[in-house]
């Protein structure tokens, strides 16, 4: 069966760069807003940059909330897209998709740390997953965010900045990457390719 990969057009400014990263892997991902096309896809990617409340507002306006909550194929949330997979966010005190337990919180910087967290940071393996197959133990990814999800049983890899947080999550068919795989060089390409193989 051929792969039908779609990018949900939730208004995120990283959609173009995610699409280009997929093109480099030989995948022509279609940008969609229609529930039927999302349900028909083999793989669904929810990119996002910005704040949780406008992100959820956009998904509600498109009538996609229930569709995204009930998908059975592999789903990947990227950056804000990952945060929207959780039950809620303190950013605007908003209810999110609720397919991954937990609540996204504002990061609390320690001495010498600045928010937003911007730059390369190590991915710390928490448990085995096909999503991180072949990843080197000292792999680094590129982050830009001020809010983060806690570490929990769904955490595949964590990262350490202003405390520990979930960098990669997976609960059943729902996966998330807090960083930008499309800006994370070979590590990001490997992770995207692993997702496409799920």
Catalytic entry in 43, 117, 145, 180: 180
Instruction: Give pLDDT, residue 13.
Output: 66
96 is catalytic: no
Structure tokens that stand for 178 in this block? 């807090």
pLDDT tens, residue by residue, 74-110: 999 999 999 999 999 999 899 999 999 999 999 999 8
79 is catalytic: yes
pLDDT tens, residue by residue, 108-143: 998 999 999 999 999 999 999 999 999 998 999 999
Catalytic entry in 43, 79, 117, 126: 79
* Rounded Cα gap, residues 168 and 78, in angstroms: 10
Structure tokens that stand for 195 in this block? 């997702």
User: Dihedral (C-alpha) 112, 118, 120, 122: value to the nearest 10 degrees?
Assistant: 70
Walk me through the domains of the chain, giving residue ranges and CATH numbers.
5-196 (3.40.50.880)
Cβ 47 vs Cβ 18: under 8 Å: yes
Nearby residues of 196 by Cβ (< 8 Å), 6 or more positions away? 3, 5, 25, 27, 43
Catalytic entry in 43, 91, 96, 182: 182
């Amino acid at each position: 069966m051929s792969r039908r990969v779609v990018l949900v057009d939730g208004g995120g400014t990283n959609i173009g760069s995610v699409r280009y990263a997929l093109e480099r892997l030989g995948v022509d991902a279609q940008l969609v807003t229609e529930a039927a096309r999302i349900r028909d896809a083999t793989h669904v990617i929810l990119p996002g940059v910005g704040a949780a409340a406008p992100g959820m507002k956009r998904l509600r306006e498109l009538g996609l909330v229930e569709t995204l909550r009930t998908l059975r194929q592999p789903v990947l949330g990227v950056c804000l897209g990952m945060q929207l997979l959780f039950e809620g966010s303190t950013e605007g005190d908003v209810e999110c998709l609720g397919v991954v337990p937990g609540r996204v919180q504002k990061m609390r910087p320690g001495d010498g740390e600045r928010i937003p967290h911007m730059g390369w940071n190590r991915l710390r393996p928490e448990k085995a997953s096909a999503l991180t197959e072949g990843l080197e133990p000292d792999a680094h990814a590129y982050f830009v965010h001020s809010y983060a999800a806690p570490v929990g049983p769904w955490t595949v890899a964590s990262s350490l900045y202003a405390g520990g947080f979930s960098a990669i999550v997976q609960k059943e068919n729902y996966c998330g990457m807090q960083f930008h795989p499309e800006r994370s060089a070979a590590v990001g390409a490997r992770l995207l390719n692993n997702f496409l193989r799920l």
